[in-house]
Amino acid sequence: MADNTAGPVLELRVALTTSEYDRLVRFYSIGLGIEPAQLWTGDQDRALLLEMGRATLEIFDEPHAAAVDQIEVGRRVSGSIRFALQVPDAQAAVERLLSHGATLVHPPIDTPWGHRNVRVQDPDGLQVTLFQVL
């Protein structure tokens, strides 16, 4: 019998596919200050793996997503997938990402649950919440 004392899922990976590989690599790798953990390069293809700390999966119904968007942005704007990345300094992180192609969706706000959140959009249009625990 398999030992699953660590749980039935050991790791969450999100795979982003883009036609602008170098642009998105710069955004996530340099913009967040993360060195690639693995590079996969073939004759005709490229990929990399960025380790981004602990992973969780949040599942929202539409009213909850609307409530979070209302707090963070003031209106319903995110799609069916949005990243939320905990960072040590939200202001420094947003400045780095803006210099690497992010679009500011909403400036930093302090949430009722004690986080400083700022919403950006990556160069391919995916919304990303950067949050700092206050």
Q: Which stretches within the chain are classed as H helix?
A: 21-25, 31-32, 62-72, 90-98
Instruction: Report yes or no on 6 lying in a domain.
Output: no
94, part of any domain: yes
Q: Is 80 exceeded by the pLDDT of residue 13? A: yes
Has residue 27 been placed in a domain?
yes
Q: For the chain, how many structural domains are there in total?
A: 1
Phi-psi region of 24 (alpha: psi -120 to 50; beta: other; left: phi over 0): alpha
Look at residue 100 and tell me if it is in a domain: yes
- The encoded tokens of residue 57 equal 């999966």
SS3 121: strand
pLDDT at position 134 is 95
**DSSP per residue over 68-88, as a string?**
HHHHHTSS----S-EEEEE-S
Pair type for strands 127-133 and 46-49: unpaired
Tens digit of each residue's pLDDT (9 = 90 or more) over 71-119 = 999 999 999 999 999 999 999 999 999 999 999 999 999 999 999 999 9
**Domain boundaries, position 31:** 21-133
Confidence at 3, pLDDT banded by 50, 70, 90: low
Determine, yes or no, domain membership for 12.
Answer: no
